[in-house]
Structure 1
Amino acid sequence: MNLSNLTPAKGSVKERKRVGRGQGSGKGGTSTRGHKGAQSRSGYSRKLNFEGGQMPLQRRVPKFGFKNPTRVEYKPINLDVLQALATDANATVIDFAFLREHGFAGKNDLIKVLSRGEVTTALNVTAHAFSVAAKEAIEKAGGTVTVIEQVAKKEEASN
């Protein structure tokens, strides 16, 4: 065996289909495209989700749901996270600027403090909203809770 007599394995190499080379080839005339219709023409490309004229799935299925344009979304932060932050940074005042500085909030985020975990040190927490249980837990540990007043977007637009 040498390089001059190497051949691929039997059945591994397929010859390409030569269409449109006359009737004698067996693939002349319509060039395996069938008779008439869009698919037999050159330049035809089926539209995405086209189902042959049948009503497409995305139009058969009904619309549902609702996006509330005035929804207020809060970024949640739990008490255990606040406690860990206070311990690590040796801080007693946790406000929006502090949370931004430590990567827990973006400049347009609204912060809501939730009650998972517990607070053992007296913290002065300032946020946009508090759950009732979180507020009680912070005050029980000797801390204070301050709510940041937020201006409604509709009021900003009218001014």
Structure 2
Amino acid sequence: MKLHDLQPTPGSRKNRKRVGRGPGGTDKTAGRGHKGQKARSGAGKGQFFEGGRSRLIARLPKRGFNNVGTTYEIVKLGQLEGIEGTTEINREALEILGLVRRRDRPVKLLVGGELSRALTIHVDAASQSAVKAVEAAGGKVVLPAAPTETQAEAAKAE
């Protein structure tokens, strides 16, 4: 006997009934009985359905920390070092260079490398160490101004 000669004993293996696939062998109701929820395509009560009471996962206490914070597009100083021909860097320039991809996310500047020349960088957020590194190289980081109370009141009035 060799490996390619192995096969199950005749009659010990049976093909499963493929229900809901038309009249191919099972005819008419396709092996699903008559009408009702379980006879429909895609039907069923779901994996965690418990007869109408609250699911176990909903009854368990919620624990731990869930940070629903802002997700940033990250730009590092080392990536800006190779940019030639400009001293002013904003979001549009970062998008053209391929350093920022998602328009729905704000841009944050992090250290990650050295910066040897003076640049003016316009970003939405920056780490303190990144701001210090840019200023040490003779440049500056421009962040959006936080709205004052009068601007917030004016926005509500509109």
Q: Do the aligned partners of residues 135 and 14 (structure 1) sit closer, same or farther apart at CA in structure 2, a change above 3 Å counting?
A: closer
Which of 113, 116, 120 lines up with 2:112 in the alignment? 116
Bigger CA radius of gyration = 1
**Alignment RMSD:** 3.9
Aligned residue in 2 for 1:25: none
**TM-score, structure 2 length as denominator?**
0.56
Report the counterpart of residue 36 of structure 2 in structure 1: 43
How many residues of Structure 1 are paired with residues of Structure 2 in the alignment? 124
Identity within the alignment, %: 31
Structure 1 residues not aligned, in runs of 5+? 1-7, 18-39
Distance in structure 2 (CA, Å) of the matches to 1:93 and 1:100? 14
Change in CA separation of 1:43 and 1:149 when aligned onto 2, cut-off 3 Å: same
5+ residue gaps, structure 2: 1-7, 18-32, 39-43
Tell whether the 8 Å contact from 1:79 to 1:113 is kept in structure 2 after alignment.
yes
Query: C-alpha displacement at 1:128, in angstroms?
Result: 2.0
How far, CA to CA, are the matches of 2:136 and 2:79 in structure 1?
17
Specify the alignment match of 1:60 in structure 2: 59
What TM-score comes out, normalization by structure 1 length?
0.56
Task: Summarize the Cα distance change of 1:91–1:9 in structure 2 as closer, same or farther, 3 Å threshold.
Answer: farther
Say whether residues 1:10 and 2:5 are aligned partners.
no
In the other structure, the counterpart of 1:82 is 80
Seen in structure 2, the aligned counterparts of structure 1 residues 9 and 157 have a Cα distance that, compared at 3 Å, is farther
| Residue identity in the other structure for 1:99 | L
